[in-house]
Amino acid sequence: MSSLQHVNPTVRGIRVSPQSVLQSLAVRISQEVTQGVPKPFKQVIDVSSGDPHKSGLKPMSFLRQVLAVCVYPELLNNEGLSLDVRLRAQRLLEACDGGSVGSYGQSSGVPHVKQSIVEFISRRDAGVSSNTEHIFISPGSQVALRIIVILLARGEEETQSAVLTPMPCPHTLPMLVEEAGVKLVPYHLIEEQGWAVDLDELHRALKAARGRYEPRAMYISNPGNPTGHVQDRKSIEEVIQFAAAERLLLLVDEVYQDSVYGPDKEFISYKKVLSEMNSEYSETVELISFHSLSSTCMGECGLRAGYMEMVNMDPEVKHTVYNMRSAHAPVTGQLALELMINPPTPGEPSYDKYTQEILLIQATLSQNARRAWQFLNDLPWMSCQPAMGGIYLYPRLHLPSELIEQAKMLGMEADVLYCQKLLEEEGVCLGAGSENGQDDQRYHVRLCVLAPPATVEEVLARLRTFHLRLLDRFP
């Protein structure tokens, strides 16, 4: 009997995602391995989501050293630590209420950290101005996004608000939108064009929604999650013009902006492009962009801090967001955020090592993505678009009808069944594309390549063994 049949898809009325079920199964199998239950593998490898430290990548030394001093200020006198580490920690402690990371701080974020974010945005966007009043720090970008989606919701007596959402999308997004009481309206990215945004498809999706729902916002991730697509300036301008014409708030997830590695590709922020358009757009289009410590190079998922920048937003909206005290980010996370966007500079003692660590992570990611892409395209029943940025590959499974029918009989999607079998037989946990909002006629899996190269090679080897064995079962 299928292992997933033992798991109720709802808990007290709350729907459980396929990914949660697969990860629960991964934990159970890991416990069985520890207990000595015979398995054809020695450990479970989870590459379904982006958690680089869990996968074995090392954190940034400078960030951890400064945080250590902030948490234990007696280390300020430790000459074994670089002078710039101790000076930075001292400045950050002075910026905290009471000189301690144990203080509450202001609801929208530590002022010093917000100022550093403003300066980072200005450097990134070649002088485009920013303002601390437009910055809101939260416990990760997902919390910030959830706040905005909740504010978009309407009362039960009114037409339900809707958010245009790309398919595929981040696997956490559909449930986030659903729980906020907002309707998710899908627009499909074009797989054959490297998961590009298509203007005609945006108009189709909007037309299909109007009359039943009230579309009030459009979500997009750049670089794409999980597609790895990186938009160029022309594509961003088209999206901005579409949002302006249809009076939509733009919600732009730019968490993976530090991981663009495709040939002739570069990250351009939506804010920069918007600021360089004429006033018809630059002064009217409402835009909220998101960034986070879960970015590729930092990968500090557990410290729970991110920020959003609000452009052309109504002051009352900003005031409401600032007063949502439940959205406070931990002070330690905020200080880590400051270190992410304000790293050591040339001439400082920590600069060389910090730069080497960053370049190593970026090179590892780029090489893993290229290696996995070539490998996946060499497997029968599988095809994969090349990633240009981000941390995932999103290959398509060309599954036999017999396996699809078997999945239907078990009451699950075929890609979920594929992932379950792979987990049980080879100890590899992938993400199932059905929770990324895949097309009903297409099946995909999600593979995070932000991991040590040896781990990625082990995943690919086990995947190949399983995949070819599956071919023998369904010739």
Please indicate, yes or no, whether residues 305 and 222 belong to a single structural domain of this protein: yes
Q: Does residue 208 form part of some domain? A: yes
pLDDT band at 316 (very low <50, low <70, confident <90, very high): confident
**Is residue 169 a contact partner of residue 435, using CB atoms and an 8 Å limit?**
no
Q: Does residue 315 form part of some domain? A: yes
Least confident of 20-24, 109-113, 119-123, 446-450: 20-24
Q: Tell me if the bond preceding 168 is cis, omega within 30° of 0.
A: yes
Last residue of a domain, one of 285, 316, 341: 341
Question: Does the pLDDT value for residue 10 go beyond 50?
Answer: no
pLDDT of residue 428: 96
CATH number for position 378: 3.90.1150.10
pLDDT of residue 77: 94
Instruction: Provide the residue type at 58 as one letter.
Output: K
- pLDDT above 90: percentage of residues in the chain: 79
pLDDT of residue 440: 64
Please indicate, yes or no, whether residues 435 and 300 belong to a single structural domain of this protein: no
Question: Does the pLDDT value for residue 137 go beyond 70?
Answer: yes
Number of domains in the chain: 2
Please indicate, yes or no, whether residues 376 and 336 belong to a single structural domain of this protein: no
Largest CA distance in the chain: 69
Average pLDDT over residues 397-425: 92
Please indicate, yes or no, whether residues 307 and 383 belong to a single structural domain of this protein: no
Please indicate, yes or no, whether residues 333 and 466 belong to a single structural domain of this protein: no
Please indicate, yes or no, whether residues 371 and 328 belong to a single structural domain of this protein: no
Give the tens place of pLDDT for each residue, 43-90. Answer: 999 999 888 998 899 999 999 999 999 999 999 999 999 999 999 999
Q: Does residue 410 form part of some domain? A: yes
Q: Does residue 65 form part of some domain? A: no
Question: Does the pLDDT value for residue 9 go beyond 90?
Answer: no
Average pLDDT over residues 360-377: 97
Last residue of a domain, one of 341, 365, 397: 341
pLDDT band at 156 (very low <50, low <70, confident <90, very high): low
Question: Does the pLDDT value for residue 7 go beyond 60?
Answer: no
Give the tens place of pLDDT for each residue, 80-116. Answer: 999 999 999 999 999 999 999 998 877 778 999 999 9
Please indicate, yes or no, whether residues 171 and 214 belong to a single structural domain of this protein: yes
Please indicate, yes or no, whether residues 333 and 289 belong to a single structural domain of this protein: yes
Q: Does residue 189 form part of some domain? A: yes
Q: Average pLDDT over the chain, rounded to whole?
A: 91
pLDDT of residue 155: 67
Q: Does residue 381 form part of some domain? A: yes
Please indicate, yes or no, whether residues 236 and 167 belong to a single structural domain of this protein: yes
CATH number for position 176: 3.40.640.10
Residue with the two structure tokens 């239907």: 408
Last residue of a domain, one of 341, 374, 400: 341
Backbone dihedral angles phi then psi of residue 221, each to the nearest 5 degrees: -115, 135
**Is residue 125 a contact partner of residue 272, using CB atoms and an 8 Å limit?**
yes
Residue with the two structure tokens 């037409």: 159
Please indicate, yes or no, whether residues 326 and 370 belong to a single structural domain of this protein: no
Residue 158 is part of which domain span? Answer: 93-341
Please indicate, yes or no, whether residues 366 and 302 belong to a single structural domain of this protein: no
Query: b/e per residue, 40-55, with b = 16+ CB within 10 A?
Result: eeeebbbbbbbbbeeb
Please indicate, yes or no, whether residues 335 and 373 belong to a single structural domain of this protein: no
